[in-house]
Amino acid sequence: MSQEKQTVYVSKDLYEKVKKYIQEQGTFNTVDELVEFMLNELLDQSVNETMSKEDEEKVKDRLKRLGYM
């Protein structure tokens, strides 16, 4: 994956909230680090939220019993 950086714009209010959070928590050094971490977490989470085959079968069975399939 490329480590080249791109610019993302956020409101000044949000930037200041994030900056304050970083100062209070001490976990991240910069707003950029926190934003990159959070976006990666969000995207990883959405990829991992696929339905299991078992859950998919339960949904299909329920839809069939309700007459939709």
d(CA 17, CA 40): 20
d(CA 32, CA 15): 10
- pTM, two decimal places: 0.59
From the list 50, 7, 12, the residue with the least C-alpha distance to 32 is 7
From the list 10, 57, 61, 64, the residue with the least C-alpha distance to 36 is 10
pLDDT digits (tens, 9 = 90+) for 13-69: 999 999 999 999 988 999 999 999 999 888 877 666 677 788 888 878 877 777 766
CA distances from 64 to 53, 56, 68 (A): 16, 12, 6
